[in-house]
Amino acid sequence: MSRTVFCKKYQQELEGLAVAPLPGAKGQEIFDTISQKAWHEWMQHQTMLINEKHLNTMDLTDRTYLKEQMDKFFAGDDYDQADGYVPPSE
C-alpha cells in the first residue's frame, strides 16, 4: 500500500512520494508534506522556468531563485510563470 501525506499545496490527504526528492532537511520536509501530484506539477513548472528563463542550475543565484519559487508554489503563494506562458483553459 502506498503512503499518504497531508499535502501542503492541496490541503488534503494524497499519495506521498516514495523517497525524499532532495538530500537533507528540505528533502525530508518535502517527503513529509508534499504529494506525488504536487511534486510532479512542480517538476514540470521548474523545467519550464529553467528553459524559458535560461537558468543555469550550476549557478547559486539561479538555484536560490528556483528554491524560492518552489516554496511559493507549494505554499499556494503567487509564483513566477514562464515569460509568455498562457495556462491551458479547462
Domains by residue range for the chain, with CATH: 4-75 (1.10.3880.10)
Q: What are the average pLDDT values for consecutive 10-residue runs of the chain, which has 90 residues? A: 90 96 95 97 96 95 97 95 74
49 close to 80: Cβ distance less than 8 angstroms: yes
All three cell numbers of 34:
508534499
Q: What is the pLDDT of residue 83?
A: 77
With CA atoms as reference, report the closest residue to 45 among 72, 25, 13. 72
Q: What is the pLDDT of residue 89?
A: 79
The whole-angstrom separation of Cα 88 and Cα 73 is 18
pTM summary value: 0.88
